[in-house]
Amino acid sequence: MTYKGVTNAQLDHLKQMAKGKGVDRTAFQTYGLDGGIIAKAMELIVQASKPVVQAASNLLRFVTTISVPGVPKFVAKDRFVSSGTITFYLDDNFKTHFLSKVEENVPAADLAVHTLTSYSLDEPIRKELGAQREETTLAYLYELLSRQPKGESGVLLTNGYATIFYIKDANGKLWAVGVGWDSRYGEWHVRADSITYPDEWHGGYRVFSRK
């Protein structure tokens, strides 16, 4: 007996596959006389397998956790200024969208440090971090920069690769803020990219988030 090209044997086989994935066999009854049963059955099995989540779990590799102190008030235009201690090169996006920002009552936090294992756009990275963890602050970024003012070894990469933070600007818009050490000029480059920018970050870059 067949149901529009689907044999009972095929249906039983799909049910067994579904059972192995934890899908209720009765989920197929609604589609028993539907010509799209094969497609629907496989859709249910794939959903149960959660392949997207499994793939995303390999995008970021945990490296370590770093603690940063709280700050009562952080005024970006007063801190991201070159001095004898630290030198900055700020891109236009960062200057336009972040130098007017003031952060108040920033709490102390533990930040998670990850290595990006392959090329990726921001969306998959942010999805893996999760909405509750992705956002950090300028105060945290500056604190970490101040610990490596001359490109010393530390949690921020100084090998020409970027370190990425997701931070909201003065208007509350989330950006990808990347920092990198320029050993030729002895300065920290700080750039802000739209999180929808269609260019991928390189594998080997670092990504910071809340723990």
**pLDDT at site 18:** 52
125-128 LR contacts (CB < 8 Å, sep 24+): 125/59, 125/60, 125/164, 125/201, 125/207, 126/166, 126/195, 127/56, 128/56, 128/57, 128/59, 128/60
Q: What is the DSSP annotation of the chain?
A: -EETTEEHHHHHHHHHHHHHTT--GGGGGGGTT-TTHHHHHHHHHHHHH-HHHHHHTTTEEEEEEEEE--EEEEEHHHHS---SS--EEE-HHHHHHHTT-EEEEEPPEEEEEEEE-S-B-HHHHHHHH-TTTSB--HHHHHHHHHTSTTS-SSSS--SS--EEEEEE-TTS-EEEEEEEEETTTTEEEEEEEETT-S-PBPTT-EEEEE-
Cα separation, 193 vs 203, whole angstroms: 17
Tens digit of pLDDT at every position of the chain (211 positions): 333 444 556 556 655 655 554 545 444 444 444 445 555 555 555 454 444 333 446 899 999 999 999 999 999 999 999 999 999 999 999 999 999 999 999 999 999 999 999 999 999 999 999 999 999 999 999 999 999 999 999 999 999 999 999 999 999 999 999 999 999 999 999 999 999 999 999 999 999 999 9
**pLDDT at site 17:** 55
Written as six digits, the tokens of 20 are: 């192995």
**pLDDT at site 126:** 98
**pLDDT at site 43:** 58
**pLDDT at site 61:** 97
